[in-house]
Amino acid sequence: MLIAVDTGNAAIKSMNTTFPTGLTTSSVCPSFADDVIKYNNEYYVLVDDRNIPYKYDKTQDDTFFVLSLFAIAKELRLSNMTGHVIIDLAVGLPLEHYEALKQKTLDYYNRGHVSFVYNNEVFNIQINRILVKPQALSAVVVEAQELLRLPTVFIVDIGGYTTDIALLRNGKISMEYCRSLDMGTIALGNSIAAKANSLYNIAVRNDHIQAVLQRRDSLLPESVKDIIHKEVANYAKSTIDKLRELQIDLRTDPVVFLGGGALMLKPHLDSDPRIAQARFITDPKANAIGYYTLGARELTRQSV
């Protein structure tokens, strides 16, 4: 069975699930937690808010391996797979870091037999083949295949901590524009929360921000809602400003926006006169779906 996991700094995604990159540990089993894994005699609990600092290299400790186990367990349950299961695992890396971290990522997940308990159910998995795919490009290959036929197209993946940029020339990566910028939606959320607290002594969480942007019911006062809309508009503008500093002119080349920030910034990016033609991939699971699709193709070629 092939399972794909996108280990984002803000959220973990698989083909069918997504949850915040938030984790706590305990030496004893927590009584009232909903999502718990016991692995190597430690209990790990998923929490609703992201609480893990940004990591350039996610192979430094077991944090993202355990988060991947949560995604794997959820996918196995959805597929009604029990007992001893052999899986192939597809994961991804940003293009700028792909060559530097590919081997470390392969070694990180190359653990053979893994036994753990997820919500009182024992899982025994054998990690067979590990496939490392390029982030953002994988999503575009699957979701916007027709764009690969264009002479040039930029890809801008707006994540939690970083914004990853790539240029495709005739469907192939051009390394001259591969960048990973320290800009993401987590910094935007922190800026909104700081302003709301400073000006109105109101604590604003990410779910509050999402509710306002999605025009859902919210108890926040209009003054705080105005802060949210203004900060998001400014962040969208600063994103395009940064691209211009890098000599990326979206008046002359089409662009694909994806990642969690793409949906958040879409109304403002759509109306920016400095963008001539934009395509948005708004499914937060797009990279995971891309890893799965490209991984399945690779496994099919290997079996021929």
pLDDT tens per residue across span 33-89: 889 999 999 999 999 877 898 888 999 999 999 999 999 999 999 999 988 999 999
Helix or strand or coil: residue 240? helix
- pLDDT of 128 higher than 90: yes
pLDDT at 304: 65
Q: Please identify which residue in the block is written with the tokens 């991939």.
A: 281
Same fold, 2-134 and 146-185+207-283: yes
Query: pLDDT of 138-188, one tens digit each?
Result: 988 877 777 777 899 999 999 888 899 999 888 888 877 888 888 889 899
Specify whether the CB–CB gap between 18 and 40 falls below 8 A. no
Note the CATH number of domain 146-185+207-283.
Answer: 3.30.420.40
Q: In whole angstroms, what is the distance from residue 294 CA to residue 273 CA?
A: 35
CA atoms within 13 A on the CB side of 252: 5
Least confident residue range of 11-20, 108-117, 179-188, 217-226: 179-188
Domain range annotation of the chain: 2-134, 146-185+207-283
Q: Is the pLDDT of residue 118 over 90?
A: yes
Q: Which two tokens stand for residue 181?
A: 């910028």
Q: What is the pLDDT of residues 253-302, one digit of tens each?
A: 999 999 988 889 999 999 999 999 999 998 989 999 999 999 999 999 88
pLDDT of 24 = 94
- Look up residue 102 and give its two tokens: 């590919």
**Prediction pTM value:** 0.90
Q: Which fold has domain 2-134?
A: Nucleotidyltransferase; domain 5 (3.30.420)
